[in-house]
């Protein structure tokens, strides 16, 4: 005789978990008027807005000066830290001093550091890149703080973006010599 009790419990746990995830997402969309790129190690948006004391410790600890603060017109998000990686990139500090400096759990250093962390995603546009016209460059690869896990050159000297290793810090977007940049930063979910 087969026992379906365990399977049934597992099914209901998954269904309840999925339902709760959808409720949290819908709540977040209602509460949050504008989406912001948060510093690494941030809680989900609703939790982040609740936990962040707006003390500025993360911004003071950022060696690149990448952390900005939402203006007073930002509603519930006012004075919270955010990033604009395409304009002022995060430099993907291995020790995440911004998260270390946070006195609450709004920002925490993930157990695996940057592994699996993403600020957004980067799109590479080969049609803009001068290496596809036969010219040498490699500025993007030399400036990438993550290194070959994220960006390397192929045997023809052309950039190869490795999505699985890229943290979307934005350094390649800023440092690319083409206008417009051969790289574009996108927020998660866009």
Q: Phi, psi at residue 130, to the nearest 5°?
A: -70, -20
- Give residue 149's pLDDT: 96
Is 3 a domain residue? Answer: no
Is 22 a domain residue? Answer: no
Quick one: which of 129, 135, 124 has its CA closest to 163? Answer: 124
pTM: 0.80
Specify burial of residue 32 (Cβ count, 10 A radius: 0-12, 13-18, 19+). Answer: middle
pLDDT at position 11 over 90: no
- Shared domain check, 62 and 42: yes
* SS3 (DSSP) at 42: strand
- Shared domain check, 133 and 173: yes
| Percent of the chain's residues with pLDDT above 70 | 88
Q: Can you tell me the mean pLDDT for 161-166?
A: 95
Segment 106-133, tens digit of pLDDT? 999 999 999 989 999 999 999 999 999 9
Radius of gyration of the chain (CA): 20
- Give residue 189's pLDDT: 74
- Domain termination residue (choose one: 111, 136, 162): 111
* SS3 (DSSP) at 43: coil
Host domain of residue 103: 36-111
- Give residue 92's pLDDT: 97
149's CB contacts (< 8 A; 6+ apart) are 162, 165
CATH number, residue 128: 3.30.70.20
How many structural domains does the chain have?
Answer: 2
Q: Can you tell me the mean pLDDT for 78-91?
A: 96
- Give residue 29's pLDDT: 54
Report the distance separating Cα 54 and Cα 57, nearest Å. Answer: 8
Is 89 a domain residue? Answer: yes
């Amino acid at each position: 005789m087969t026992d379906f009790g365990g399977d049934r419990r597992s099914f209901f746990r998954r269904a309840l978990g999925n339902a709760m995830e959808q409720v949290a997402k819908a709540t977040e969309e209602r509460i949050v008027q504008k989406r912001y790129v948060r510093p690494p190690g941030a809680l989900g948006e609703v939790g982040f807005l609740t936990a962040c004391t707006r003390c500025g410790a993360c911004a003071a600890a950022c060696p690149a000066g990448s952390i900005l603060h939402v203006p007073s017109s930002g509603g519930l998000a006012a004075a919270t830290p955010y990033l604009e990686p395409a304009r002022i990139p995060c430099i993907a500090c291995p020790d995440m001093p911004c998260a270390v400096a946070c006195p609450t759990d709004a920002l925490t250093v993930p157990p695996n550091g940057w592994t699996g962390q993403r600020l957004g995603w980067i799109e590479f546009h080969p049609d803009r890149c001068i290496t596809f016209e036969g010219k040498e460059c490699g500025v993007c690869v030399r400036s990438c703080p993550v290194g070959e896990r994220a960006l390397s050159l192929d045997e023809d000297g052309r950039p190869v973006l490795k999505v699985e290793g890229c943290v979307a810090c934005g350094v390649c977007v800023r440092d690319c010599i083409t206008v417009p940049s051969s790289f574009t930063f996108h927020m998660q979910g866009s």
